[in-house]
Structure 1
Amino acid sequence: MMTYDGFDFSRYMIVNDIGRPLMPPQVIQSMEITGRHGAYFLEKRHAPIVLPVEVTLHEDLNMSYMEMKRYIAGNLNKKEPKKLIFEDEPDMSIHAIITDNTEIDDLLKAGTTTLHFYCPDPFYYAIEDEVFTFNGEGSYDFTRAKGNEESEPLIEIQGMNSGGVITLKTDHSEINFEGALNSGETLVFDSHFMTAYVLQVDGTKRSANNDIDSLDFPILAVGANNVTVSTENASVSTIRIYARSRWI
């Protein structure tokens, strides 16, 4: 079974094989210096992946085979990557979009093809994610039980600030916020998009990027983590951490 952008394809096709790599392609950046052996390692990152999914289309009783092919094509055609879920891993999803050719080998009222899903973000994300909630400022330990890779969390802080400082500190980062935070508003740090904003009472967002002193956004490890929120002439009532747990 395969679900794409909320549409269950099990009624129209059988998934025969999924070409999932053990890891995404690894991109290594290094620097060579004339006269020295080897190279200096700079960084490693995960490249996008392509998932080949071999499927068999079978006729549906409510439409002809050709009508069904058009119907399937319409549900696969997206303008941007959407959530893709496979039956053997129902607790995680990856964002994907169809790429390459999708020619079908037809045999009577059935056909086989390989769908190539391009995944610009090579991570699988937990469908039911871990959320950690703490009351008031302080230092808090918590454990990420899901995923096998560092995650880029979304952290919400509710409180008030007018001329003071709210400090968010994790094991490897620290950000100071000096902007205004009114009653009922929520300060948000989004590590995935490397942005900070204030969610206002009416639901609109107000950028807070100019009110923070660092773009070193928090990263959560698999397992044990710590977050510390402190204030100076400000107050904090609630801290909520959406882990965005993920797997390679």
Structure 2
Amino acid sequence: MTFQWWFNGQDMSKYLETNNVERNIGQNRKAILQKIGVSSGKRFQYTSADEGKVTVSFLIRRDMVAKRREIAGLLSSNEPQQLIFGDEPDKYYLAIADDQISLSEKFRHGNGEVTFIVPDGVAHSLTTAMVSGQSGTDITVTNAGTAPSTPVLTATMTADNGLVAWTNDQGGVLQFGASNEADGTDYEQSERAVSLRMT
């Protein structure tokens, strides 16, 4: 199978024949353990998701000198860009090429490998799910992925008010504004930042 893939909006398949991609399974997870005294084993503290890695092996045929320079420019970026593979066109990784890109040159072709670092360690969906509801109705949002995600909440006002609030079934509340403040009327209200320290 030959992979078609894009980086930063550029079709890399025009320059590279790709037959091998290592994407691994799920997030790169790290278990944090702590040694307690001289007891056997360790105590589990927590699990943390770490950065991911995607490795693409490729073949270049003909015009290697010109292609080498062009490919270097296409893969060079100062921040992560979208990395998309043809077998999952609805998903992308925010990735950046890491380390020196290898290229073993032979007479008229060369083999190489590029390693991408994925800082957040997950693939993102190019499509979004939209749900809507009226005031006071329950809205269910389903996360079909394998990593936690945060919804984007949008409110459209149908009357003059100064409060937008969302609640969940576990007692959580997101509230913006004040119920006694109507739109178009400015009120002076002092706000202070709260800093809590755990001892």
TM-score normalised by L of structure 2: 0.76
Of residues 5, 10, 21, the one that matches 1:7 is 10
Aligned length: 180
What is the distance in 2 between the residues matched to 1:127 and 1:49? Answer: 19
Using the TM superposition, give the Cα deviation of residue 133 of structure 1 relative to its aligned residue in structure 2, in angstroms. Answer: 2.5
Equivalent position to 2:46, from 20, 24, 43: 43
**1 CA distance for matches of 2:183 and 2:144?**
34
Please, which runs of 5 or more residues in structure 2 have no aligned partner? 185-190, 195-199
Point out where structure 1 has 5 or more consecutive residues left out of the alignment: 184-209, 214-248
- Larger Cα Rg: Structure 1 or Structure 2? 2
**Residue of structure 2 equivalent to 1:96:** 95
Does structure 2 conserve the Cα–Cα contact (< 8 Å) formed by 1:14 and 1:55? yes
Report the RMSD for the aligned CA atoms in angstroms.
2.9
Alignment equivalent of 1:151, drawn from 149, 153, 164: 149
Equivalent residues of 1:91, 1:126 under 8 A apart? yes
Question: 1:92-171 to 2 correspondence within 5 Å?
Answer: 92-134=91-133, 136-144=134-142, 146-159=144-157, 161-162=161-162, 165-171=163-169
Aligned with 2:111: secondary structure? strand
Q: Is the 8 A contact 1:176 1:212 kept in 2?
A: no
Letter in 1 for 2:9: G
For the residue of structure 1 that corresponds to 2:155, the secondary structure is strand
Deviation at 1:27, TM superposition (A): 2.0
- 1:30-63 deviation per Cα after TM superposition (whole angstroms, max 9, x unaligned): 556558876654432210012111011223xxxx
Distance in structure 1 (CA, Å) of the matches to 2:182 and 2:65:
58
Higher relative contact order (CA 8 A, sep 6+): 1
Hey, which of these two has a bigger chunk of strand by percent? Answer: 1
Q: Percent identity?
A: 21
> How far apart are the structure 1 equivalents of 2:182 and 2:118?
37
Residues 177, 212 of structure 1: 8 Å contact kept: no
1:92–1:127: 8 Å Cα contact kept in structure 2? yes
Q: Which of the numbers 41, 53, 58 marks the counterpart of 2:56?
A: 53
**1:178·1:211 contact (CA, 8 Å) conserved in 2?**
no
- CA shift in 2, pair 1:78/1:212, >3 Å: same
User: Cα deviations across residues 165-200 of structure 1 (Å, max 9, x unaligned)?
Assistant: 4321234432222267958xxxxxxxxxxxxxxxxx
Q: Return the alpha-carbon distance in structure 1 between the equivalents of residues 152 and 193 of structure 2.
A: 16
